[in-house]
Amino acid sequence: MEILSFIIPFIILLTVVVFIHEYGHYYFAKRYGVGVTDFSIGFGKEIFGFNDKSGTRWKFCLIPLGGYVKFFGDRNVFSQAEQEELLKKYSEEDQKKLFVTKPLYQRSLVVAAGPLANFALAILIFSFIYMFAGKDFTPAQIQEVQKDGPAYSSGIKAGDIILSINNKKVNSILEVSTYINTASTENIDIKVLRDSNEIILNVTPMIVKGEDSLGNKVNKKIIGIKISPPNSEFNREKLGPATALFYAVKETWFVTMASLDFIASMFKGKGDTTQLGGPIKIAKITGQVAQHGFIAFLSIMAYISISLGFINLFPIPMLDGGHLMFYAFEKILGRPLTQRTQEGFFRIGLFLLISLMFFTTFNDLKDLGLF
């Protein structure tokens, strides 16, 4: 029964974010007259499904680790190779339903719509949370400073109120740890309010092995401070639609940029690759978060949706970003890449994705104590 408490929330979350992603592709494909033969949640053998009036097969498949939209006439969903040979196989009426006959901007929008739908879902979820559950605006006041710790050495004092970290405005006491741990630089600038004066102090965090709020082992950056709300009172406000939307967009942008900084730091050899996880780790965290209630579950769904949209924009063949890369080449060259060239790129993309899958699976198993 315990394993079901992890698997069921994970399947629900994954089904929602994958459906939204694929529906983004589907919506723009239908808008531009592209024929859609399959809309699948999951891979492998079909469990159940139905056909709609336009002939699209909507189905759920056995392996719930993704999904796809298959377009009329395409062996590969977004194949652009050898158009003339392909067109000979179809009547003039059917040619109008082919994805490859659409203008470049329409094809690009159909491809980009999947990741963009994931970002839109995250913004919608955050807006809902801020409107109905509220957003914390408690000032981050420092109660204690650890003697000889990084904060102490930099001149931070008890009673200081943190205003920003690396030029990111701190609106809530809850943001301090997040901004410190997602900083991609060795040193961070912390602006504090002290006796009505704003002071910027440079701090070098220590990295220690610890646990997150769910009890999972992580490498944490700490600066040796204890934060508490002024007068021990938290300030949580329910926001209006416009304000909620503003902060929702801001949060989505922050998570996306933090992810980009993390990827960049890995290429520089400075990123903590132990934090990368695959389906097992995501399922574990989803199950843990779901136990804290519906709002917490919605929050993790938003963050996973952002991650799915972000990863799919990587310029790797087999991902949406890879197809957009092909369209960029097509725009520059004035013609699609040849089938042979695309197949070469796809082999590289497959190798990269399989390598990433093995690496994240190893991290997942290590996290479970199996290595």
Q: Which residues are catalytic?
A: 22
Which residues lie across from 145 on neighbouring strands? 225
SS3 267: helix
Q: How many CA within 13 A on the CB side of residue 258?
A: 17
Nearest Cα neighbor of 160 from 235, 206, 226, 232 is 226
Cα 108 from chain centre: 20
Which residues lie across from 199 on neighbouring strands? 192
Q: Confirm if 26 and 67 have CB atoms less than 8 A apart.
A: no
Q: Confirm if 6 and 286 have CB atoms less than 8 A apart.
A: yes
Cα-Cα-Cα-Cα dihedral of 143, 145, 146, 152, to 10°? 170
Query: DSSP letter at 238?
Result: P
Which residues lie across from 237 on neighbouring strands? 135
Q: What is the rounded distance in angstroms from the CA atom of residue 73 to the CA atom of residue 102?
A: 13
Q: Confirm if 205 and 172 have CB atoms less than 8 A apart.
A: no
Q: Who contacts 216 (Cβ-Cβ below 8 Å, separation ≥6)?
A: 284, 285, 288, 367
Which residues lie across from 209 on neighbouring strands? 219
Q: 11: buried, middle or exposed (CB in 10 Å: 19+, 13-18, 0-12)?
A: middle
Helix (H) or strand (E) holding 306: helix 294-312
Q: How far is CA 101 from CA 71, 78, 279, 327, in A?
A: 12, 11, 36, 13
Tokens coding 85? 């040979």
Q: How many CA within 13 A on the CB side of residue 333?
A: 10
Q: Confirm if 326 and 336 have CB atoms less than 8 A apart.
A: yes
